[in-house]
Structure 1
Amino acid sequence: MTAGIAPSRSDETIRLFTLRSAADPAERAEIEDQLIRLNMAVAVDATRRFRGRGIATDDLEQVAYVGLVKAVKGFDPDRGHDFLSFAIPTIRGEVRRHFRDLGWTVRPPRSIQEAQTKIIACEGELYQQLGRAPRPSEIAEHLGLDRDLVVEALGASGCFAPASLDAPAHEGDDDPIGRRLGFTDEGFDVAEARAVLAPVLAKLSKRERIIVEMRFFRGCTQAQIGEAIGVTQMQVSRLLTRLMARLREELNVTLAA
């Protein structure tokens, strides 16, 4: 290194991780503190896409710093990856979890909502074409959307928070979604339900898929669903009743095959 020229953040990060690999516990803690301070700007930058959604910038940055700490402690340079390629997804994942934990008390941006509606409409079609659940990159290509937007839309919560299978199928109803669909095994979560239902959902119409996705996987109310598809809340309730019966019947056929 030339005298008088400070090393770049990237070079210094590499140097510190190299030192950490041979350090004792006390030295390791000090080196990790240096790595965290050195990369705080990276954490701040990773929050930019999440700003203006109802959470103060200072709070977002604090959450991002938590993600940065996890990234520094969890990064293994021996795997041959650049630290940023590990840190940025880790930090953004921490911020997304924070939004999910808050339940998205504010709506996601309109661009995310619009992307979600398009994704819901095409997922069944792509499943039929591919014979499996589509990847975000395949959804993005099919819809002509940016892949990052698709990934963000798939991960967004709020009125779209994933519904628990213990939640009631209808508002004011004590019978949970899981029981209605026959998912009675303890620990059967939404991800598993989505995987089992994928071939069944592929048989539904575009509007039916939107209803199922919004109600059972994103936790929207009947009023929110009605607003999205242009019908009344009472009509949504009737549609849900018919869809529950159809899904249960189709699911029984699928599982028996």
Structure 2
Amino acid sequence: MSMASTVPTESTQYGTHQADMAELGLPYVECPGDVAPKDAREISRIFFVRLAELEEGTHEHQYVRNTLIELNLALVRYAATRFRNRSDQMEDIVQVGTIGLIKAIDRFELSREVEFATFAVPYIVGEIKRFFRDTSWAVHVPRRLQELRIDLAKATDELSQRLDRAPTTAELAEYLNLDENEVIEGVVASNGYTAGSIDMPTDDTAESSSKLSDRLGAPDAQLEAAENVQALKPLIDELDEREKWILQMRFGAEMTQSEIGQELGVSQMHVSRLLSRITGRLREGLLAVE
């Protein structure tokens, strides 16, 4: 591995960081962002070994961590290429991806015996996808309507100031040179930009307003349990007396497998196999009934 362009020779005049890294036994990387990917992997491995030995919060630890971030920014740029169709957001994508890189560096351990790139890319991509999830539309709508929402928002602000009131649909249509139906379609689509929480109060004016979730129905857990019991009864009736006794001891008397084994005069392992076989038959029958 050649590090001539990034690691100073002995004749180089070291600055503060160079001297510190020499004491730590680490190469000084003058421009981490310019290091070739292959060299970056090798240098990163050296720095990860040292990072694990340094105390968090120290100057040396911070330097090693920051250098690792800069060395591996190429991983962020690589992951960002998956989202090239969002070129207008590329700067935000790289910034968010860098957060994922930092998380990966803080959680990486050489004992995992995997390449850091293999470990880090899922963190980076996951952080980018989370960014889109949190900042994108709650409901997917066509790009045309997304752009119309922005135009409507600007037009509404402009006309509200000019008219000193909220503009009508006809006024918005005239201002934007659109058909009224198009304006209505855009307004309806705008409702999909954000999703309201069911925990929001139904009446903002009331001091103790109820939540929407309080008015929503929910599945009755007891009803499902009753259905399962009724479905299990004929299946249990098909078991022999010994199998029924084992079920009664395990799930009725809540005895351990060892206690059941002592009662039957068999090993705990044999009881485990019997229970697996019995419950497996019941499960198959129950699924068939459903």
Q: What TM-score comes out, normalization by structure 2 length?
A: 0.39
Q: Whose RCO is larger (CA < 8 A, sep 6+)?
A: 1
